[in-house]
């Protein structure tokens, strides 16, 4: 780390740079999973738009109505399941990054709360990501 980072982030500067790089690479992989959640929300918006433009407001027989309702229910369950799945993946990756950070802080005999806080400052400033 540079001299200015040592003054701003004194606890992180005590961690070997290669170990910190490994954690930062895991964090970058963690942030890569958030784009899939955004894709799911965009797809939900597109389906709602399609439904409102082409299906809603038209007259259908009772069996057609039941088919449309069933299809929309299945699609909603699939997207809900996808959101839950990506939420679980995101959370497990986040726990892995946090656990690795805690393990390194304990090996270096550093206060984990301070290391955690400084790591969050580092990733927010450099990557604009979410804290862990």
Handedness of CA 114, 118, 120, 121 (dihedral sign): positive
Alpha-carbon Rg for the chain, nearest whole angstrom, is 23
Q: Each residue of 64-102: pLDDT tens digit?
A: 999 999 999 999 999 999 889 988 988 999 999 999 999
For the chain, give every domain's residue range: 16-122
CA-to-CA distance for 50 and 64, rounded, in angstroms? 17
Q: Each residue of 93-131: pLDDT tens digit?
A: 999 999 999 999 999 888 899 999 999 988 888 888 788
Q: Residue 30 — pLDDT band, cuts 50, 70, 90?
A: confident
CA-to-CA distance for 6 and 58, rounded, in angstroms? 66
Helices marked H in 1-132: 3-8, 17-32, 34-50, 62-107, 112-127
What pLDDT score does 7 carry?
60
Q: Is the pLDDT of residue 60 over 60?
A: yes
What pLDDT score does 14 carry?
87
């Amino acid at each position: 780390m540079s001299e200015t980072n040592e003054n701003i982030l004194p606890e992180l500067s005590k961690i070997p740079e290669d170990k910190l790089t490994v954690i930062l690479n895991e964090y970058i992989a963690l942030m890569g999973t958030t784009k899939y959640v955004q894709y799911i929300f965009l797809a939900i918006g597109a389906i709602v738009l399609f439904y409102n433009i082409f299906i809603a407001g038209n007259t259908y027989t009772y069996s057609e109505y039941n088919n449309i309702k069933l299809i929309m229910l299945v699609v909603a369950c699939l997207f809900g399941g996808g959101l839950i799945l990506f939420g679980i993946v995101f959370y497990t990756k986040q726990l892995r990054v946090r656990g690795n950070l805690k393990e390194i802080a304990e090996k270096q005999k550093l206060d984990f709360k301070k290391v955690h806080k400084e790591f969050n400052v580092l990733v927010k400033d450099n990557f604009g990501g979410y804290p862990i």
